[in-house]
Structure formats: structure tokens, C-alpha cells
């Protein structure tokens, strides 16, 4: 796309109404064209950070996996560098990773029925998932990138529905019998039936040492070593191992936003700043506030506000650089700032262009669940890491998954889970 975007195209881009191909083209154009970015900033009422954050997110995602790549990976047909490229993409892409989990679940739950009951006779038994789907899915649908199906996941099952309809029509034909003269009935000789071969064991794709327990996950999605876990916990762990990542918790939404690059920061603004909590969820309802020291400051005062900017707590004049408030209400979002007093003047942190220091106190129900899991499953670093991540407690999740990775230094999935949580913290 070499020409500038029209006002209609800019508005459609902002509202995500463009087709996938045009949306990607517009993203590439905006990344290179300063004039169109300026026009889009005006449409966004000067909110340049939001624009750059969207462009950075789109650029970081890169090209999404095609249907062929995803199907071959689900079948285990990719090897070497191509397999590593797909795995690296799944570890960082919030669109393709859940689709891969759906595709694997579809493969393990549906394809067995197709193999035994509805499979066309013309397809050999060794055909891959992609070949089977191509046999019944129209060619135009296969040219759509897999991430487009995120807008309508039911399309992924269109092949199955189409196949069922075709078979049901074919089965309505009345059976035909060739004419034959009757023959005398003879007693068949009875021979002992051959013993049935034992069922073939599914291939183990993940094996982990999790505390004193050894966990395994096979290609059919069956796990061992988790029989004592509730079914919901088993599902969470299985999904994390299958996609080799954890999803970003919705409890983290709205807590962090990049600072504006359109305003400068002096040396003093960089030296005096809040440290934590900022952009995070806290398990305790009395989080400890930390900030950096301002030279020659006589003292500091911390102020805590709710989402409506009503002050809910304030510290006395402090000489140190940390303070814990009285208990705050759980399930609420707060923001805080610290004022330094020097030579009769007040210096506040954070200050523009730095973002506001927001944090969320974990709700009571989830806090109780975490406490119960820590008592019942204290030795399972995988389960606690996944539960912490689901609750938005990324620091605690990283600690558990770091211990898991140290116990499994040669297991790739342990390394990827830890890298994923570290990326979410950044």
C-alpha cells in the first residue's frame, strides 16, 4: 500500500472494520507513513500512545500461522527449524495459541469417529489431519489464514458438518443384493477366535518432574499423576502444557499503559519514581509501597486513591522509601502517588509522561481459592504457577515456574512456560 490512507480507511482501521488483508496492509502502511499516523492521531484526539501501542502490538504479533502449518503441527509432521518457528510463534501469539488448542482438541475428539465411521474409502489410513479436512472443505476456505477463524470458531467444524451431510445422503440409497440360487446349508467348522491385540498406547509428548510427582501428557490429551486434582485444575494444567503458555489474566486489564514518548523526562524525574505496586494484582490487601529516594528530601507522603480519584488512605511524613497502608477493600482497583518534600517544595511521582501507578487487590473468593490450593497442592509448582497466572499474580507465578524449570532443565515446555510469564510481566 503506497498511497496514503483515506479518511474512511483510517476510521475503518480504528474501528477494526477492514478485511483481514486490508487490515494487515493498513498496519504496514501506518508503521512507515508519518503523515497517516498524524491524521490518525487527530482522529484519536491526540492519543498517540494508544496508536503506537496498537501498532507495536500488531507488529509484535507478526505473520500468523496458516491453516496448513497449524494442521501439520497438530499432526506432528513438522520437524527441525520449521517446528521450532511454529512453537516460538505460539508462545508469543495470543490469537494463534488458543486456536491451536482448539485444533488439537478437535483432532483428538472428532477424528477418531471419522476414522471408524465416516471416512471416505478413497483416503488411506495414513492421511494427515490437513488432508482429511481438505477432502471435504472447499478450497477457498483453506486459503483463509487460521487467525481469521478467531472471529467465527464454528467454521473450523464446517468440514465435519459437510462430511456428515454427505454420508447421510449416501447412506439413504437402498442396499442392492445380487441374485443367487439357494444352496444347502452346511454347518460351519468352529475354530477358536484369535486373541485381540492389546490397545496401542498413545505417545507421551510431555513428561515433567513436579515436586515428588511425575506428570505425563500423551498425544490424546490424557494426563497421569494428577488423579487427585479437581477436574478444573486438570484442564488448566493440560491446556497450559498443550499450548506451552498461559493466557494473560483479565484481572490485569486497565492496570498498565505505556508512557507517552511525546514528552521528555528530566534526570530528576528518572531518579525519583514509584517502584511497586504498579500495573499488577496483589494478593495481600495491605501491599507495601516502594519508591526511589530523592536526594536531600526531608520526607515523603504516600496517597492512595480509588478509581474515582477519591483519596482512601494517606501516610504520615515518612523518612524511608516504603510504607504499608491499612487494609484496602478487595476486588478494587487503586492508584497511588508519593510526594517528596525538599526545601519547602513538593515533588510528585509518578508524573507525566510516566503512566499512573495502578494496582488491583485480589478479590476474596480468588484469594481463598489460592490459599486452599497452597495448602492442598503445595508440592505442585505447575498447578500453583498456572493458578497464580490465572489470578494475575505474575510475580508468584514466575517463582513457581522457575522452580519447575530448574527441576526439568531439558524439558522445553517448562522453559516456554517460564518465558511466557516473564514476557507478561514485562
Q: Kindly report the average pLDDT of the chain as a whole number.
A: 77
Locate 306 and state its grid cell.
480509588
The DSSP-derived string for 51-90 is HHHHHHHHHHH-SPPPHHHHHHHHTT---HHHHHHHHHHH
pLDDT in tens, 351-378: 988 899 999 999 999 999 999 999 999 9
State in Å, rounded, how far the first CA of the chain is from the last one.
33
Gyration radius of the chain's alpha carbons: 29
Question: Domains of the chain (ranges plus CATH)?
Answer: 7-61 (no CATH), 67-165 (no CATH), 204-243+364-425 (no CATH), 267-361 (2.60.40.10)
Angle CA 411–420–128, to nearest 5: 65
For the chain, residues with pLDDT lower than 70 are: 1-2, 16, 20-21, 44-63, 94, 107, 109-200, 257-270
pLDDT in tens, 255-312: 986 654 444 445 555 689 999 999 999 999 999 999 999 999 999 999 999 999 999 9
203: CB partners within 8 A, 6+ apart: 218, 219
- pLDDT value of position 62: 47
- pLDDT value of position 179: 45
- pLDDT value of position 363: 96
Separation between Cα atoms, residue 416 and residue 132, nearest integer Å: 31
Phi/psi for 289 (5° steps) reads -85, 135
Separation between Cα atoms, residue 321 and residue 302, nearest integer Å: 10
Locate 29 and state its grid cell.
502502511
Given a contact cutoff of 8 angstroms between Cβ atoms, the answer to whether 215 and 225 are in contact is: yes
Amino acid at each position: 500500500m503506497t498511497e496514503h490512507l483515506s479518511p474512511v480507511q483510517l476510521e475503518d482501521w480504528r474501528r477494526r472494520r477492514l478485511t483481514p488483508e486490508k487490515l494487515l496492509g493498513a498496519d504496514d502502511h501506518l508503521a512507515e507513513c508519518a503523515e497517516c499516523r498524524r491524521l490518525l492521531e487527530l482522529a484519536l484526539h491526540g492519543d498517540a500512545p494508544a496508536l503506537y501501542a496498537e501498532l507495536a502490538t500488531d507488529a509484535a504479533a507478526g505473520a500468523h500461522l496458516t491453516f496448513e502449518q497449524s494442521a501439520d503441527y497438530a499432526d506432528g509432521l513438522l520437524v527441525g527449524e520449521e517446528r521450532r518457528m511454529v512453537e516460538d510463534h505460539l508462545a508469543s501469539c495470543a490469537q494463534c495459541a488458543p486456536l491451536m488448542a482448539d485444533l488439537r482438541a478437535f483432532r483428538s475428539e472428532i477424528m477418531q469417529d471419522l476414522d471408524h465411521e465416516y471416512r471416505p474409502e478413497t483416503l488411506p489410513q495414513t492421511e494427515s489431519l490437513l488432508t482429511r479436512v481438505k477432502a471435504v472443505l472447499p478450497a477457498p476456505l483453506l486459503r483463509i489464514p487460521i487467525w481469521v477463524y478467531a472471529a467465527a470458531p464454528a467454521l473450523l467444524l464446517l468440514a465435519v458438518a459437510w462430511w456428515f451431510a454427505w454420508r447421510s445422503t449416501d447412506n439413504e440409497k437402498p442396499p442392492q443384493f445380487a441374485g443367487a440360487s439357494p444352496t444347502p446349508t452346511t454347518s460351519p467348522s468352529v475354530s477358536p477366535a484369535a486373541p485381540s491385540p492389546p490397545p496401542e498406547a498413545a505417545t507421551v509428548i510431555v513428561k515433567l518432574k513436579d515436586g515428588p510427582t511425575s506428570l505425563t501428557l500423551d498425544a490424546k490429551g490424557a494426563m497421569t499423576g494428577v488423579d487427585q486434582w479437581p477436574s478444573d485444575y486438570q484442564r488448566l494444567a493440560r491446556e497450559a502444557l498443550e499450548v506451552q503458555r498461559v493466557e494473560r489474566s483479565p484481572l490485569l486489564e486497565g492496570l498498565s499503559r505505556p508512557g507517552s514518548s511525546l514528552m521528555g523526562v528530566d534526570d530528576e524525574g528518572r531518579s525519583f519514581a514509584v517502584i511497586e505496586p504498579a500495573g499488577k494484582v496483589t494478593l495481600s490487601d495491605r501491599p507495601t509501597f516502594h519508591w526511589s529516594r530523592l536526594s536531600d528530601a526531608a520526607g515523603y507522603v504516600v496517597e492512595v486513591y480509588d478509581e474515582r480519584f477519591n483519596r482512601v488512605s494517606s501516610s504520615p511524613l515518612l523518612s524511608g522509601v516504603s510504607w504499608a497502608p491499612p487494609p484496602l477493600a478487595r476486588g478494587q482497583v487503586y492508584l497511588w502517588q508519593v510526594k517528596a518534600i525538599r526545601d519547602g517544595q513538593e515533588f510528585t511521582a509518578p508524573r507525566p509522561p510516566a503512566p499512573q501507578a495502578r494496582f488491583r487487590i485480589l478479590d476474596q473468593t480468588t484469594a481463598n481459592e489460592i490459599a486452599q490450593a497452597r495448602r492442598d497442592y503445595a508440592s505442585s509448582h505447575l498447578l500453583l504457577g498456572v493458578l497464580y497466572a490465572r489470578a494475575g499474580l505474575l510475580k508468584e507465578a514466575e517463582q513457581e515456574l522457575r522452580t519447575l524449570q530448574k527441576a526439568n532443565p531439558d524439558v522445553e515446555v517448562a522453559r516456554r512456560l517460564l518465558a511466557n510469564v516473564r514476557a507478561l510481566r514485562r
